[in-house]
């Protein structure tokens, strides 16, 4: 249950961050409301996740996977530059999340 809530929290945070890109500094109403809704849902789900998971583990996974996902979305869909350093950074973030879980984080 905890990992399912955490996955939903990550998805909401990624959606909120992506909407923020389109809000143009919170000058466009609908993307701004999407950002607010995404983050409100993300924090609500993260708070529920913390009932069953350790805070350090849950936050590391939430932040790491969310960061990697937003970076990939930026490169694939938003025309941001792709470099070997960025790809290596994403792989390191994912590797860190895997290592946390293998180390008995759950």
List alpha helices for 1-106, DSSP H.
2-22, 29-49, 55-77, 84-102
In the numeric block, the tokens 């069953």 are attached to: 52
State how far the Cα of 32 lies from the Cα of 23, in Å rounded to an integer: 5
pLDDT computed for residue 56 by the predictor: 86
pLDDT computed for residue 104 by the predictor: 65
Q: Which two tokens stand for residue 92?
A: 């390191």
Q: Is the pTM of this model over 0.85?
A: yes
pLDDT tens across 31-69, in order? 999 999 999 999 999 999 999 999 988 998 999 999 999
Handedness of CA 91, 20, 2, 50 (dihedral sign): positive
pLDDT band at 105 (very low <50, low <70, confident <90, very high): low
């Amino acid at each position: 249950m905890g990992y399912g809530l955490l996955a939903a929290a990550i998805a909401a945070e990624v959606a909120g961050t992506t909407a923020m890109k389109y809000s143009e500094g919170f000058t466009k109403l609908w993307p701004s409301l999407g950002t607010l809704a995404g983050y409100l849902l993300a924090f609500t789900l993260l708070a529920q996740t913390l009932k069953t998971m350790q805070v350090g583990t849950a936050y590391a996974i939430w932040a790491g996977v969310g960061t990697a996902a937003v970076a990939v979305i930026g490169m694939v869909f938003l025309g941001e530059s792709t470099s070997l350093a960025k790809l290596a950074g994403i792989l390191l973030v994912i590797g860190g999340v895997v290592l946390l879980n293998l180390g008995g984080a759950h």
